Amino acid sequence: MGEQRTLLAVLAHPDDESFGIGGTLAKYAAEGVRVVLACATGGEAGEISDPSLGTKEQLAGIRERELRCACDVLGIGELHLLGYRDSGMAGSPDNDDRRSLVQTDPAEVAGKVVRLIRQVRPQVVVTFEEGGGYGHPDHMAIHRHTVAAFQAAGDPSQYPEHLAVGLEPHVPEKLYFTALPRRFFRGLAQRLSALGFDLGRLADFDWESMGVPDELCTAEIDVSAYVDIKLQAFQCHRSQLSPNGPFSLIPPEVRWDFMGTECFSLAGSRLGPGQKPETDLFAMRIG
């Protein structure tokens, strides 16, 4: 019955796969899709929520174990670590480390992603939108490199050294960006206010600056049956779970409602525009 459906997600840090699009990855894996994850950095510039878990020097190893745990939970069958150093938040000293993702030659990183596309041969590639969700330099960098790789992978004149080792050019059918639409944040704020939840300083927050414009959410994936699995994958990333983080302050029932849908933006397709909104990243029908 047709060829094996394959999804390649190209993300920046251990935990990006769970917090952002864990429901979608779990859903497709459960439906028999081969789900492959590329994680660009070791996440070593992140926090450690609990000092008993280890030291800052041990963080890359801790986070790799956490990532493998999340892959098992979500059903991600293949994990590729691209091996760059976490560049940290914008303006932090980690930005200047020569091993960091943002300091690496763009052609080198894009070349690794091209090689992976030619090996894995996905129909669907997923990465961050250009703002990286919240402006993390690594998210924005891996967005640029994945867009470049999506465009180069089918061109035999690009990275011809791959062809010399037997990898053929490959053009994926579609490229999607993860997208948190503004209505998500607006809805969350309204829901919390209606519950009498004290939004505190967030009451004056400019919700219109969060996420992407609503119309950029061109694919809405119903992951309501996978919220449990997604939450279980979150639990793998213990070093990143702060008991006092913003997420933990949201009442569980509200959290649950807002985790049942994940949005994506169709960024490239050789099939032309999809139905709006699409409900399946593998829909291969035009209009």
What DSSP designation does 158 have?
Answer: S
Cβ-count burial of 282 within 10 angstroms (0-12 exposed, 13-18 middle, 19+ buried)? middle
For the CB of residue 99, give the shortest distance to Zn ion in the complex, in Å.
Answer: 17
For the CB of residue 139, give the shortest distance to Zn ion in the complex, in Å.
Answer: 6
Q: How far is CA 278 from CA 86, 124, 160, 235, in A?
A: 33, 14, 35, 30
Residue with the CB atom nearest Zn ion in the bound state: 13
Helix axes 227-236, 252-259, angle to 10 degrees: 110
Q: What are phi and psi of 181, to 5 degrees?
A: -70, 150
Count how many Cα atoms sit within 13 Å of the Cα of residue 99 in the half-sphere of its side chain. Answer: 10
35 binds Zn ion (CB under 5 A): no
Of 16 and 94, nearer to Zn ion (C-beta) is: 16
In contact, 142 and 11? CB cutoff 8 Å: yes
Of 67 and 167, nearer to Zn ion (C-beta) is: 67
Select from 6-14, 66-74, 198-206, 267-275 the region that touches Zn ion (CB under 5 A).
6-14
Of 111 and 132, nearer to Zn ion (C-beta) is: 132
27 binds Zn ion (CB under 5 A): no
For the CB of residue 19, give the shortest distance to Zn ion in the complex, in Å.
Answer: 8
Of 112 and 237, nearer to Zn ion (C-beta) is: 237
Select from 4-12, 71-79, 108-116, 144-152 the region that touches Zn ion (CB under 5 A).
4-12
Helix (H, G, I), strand (E, B) or coil at 83: strand
Nearest to 258 by CA among 266, 250, 268: 250
230 binds Zn ion (CB under 5 A): no
Select from 5-13, 30-38, 119-127, 256-264 the region that touches Zn ion (CB under 5 A).
5-13
Among positions 7-26, residues that touch Zn ion (CB under 5 A) are 12-13, 16
* Sites of contact with Zn ion (CB under 5 A): 12-13, 16
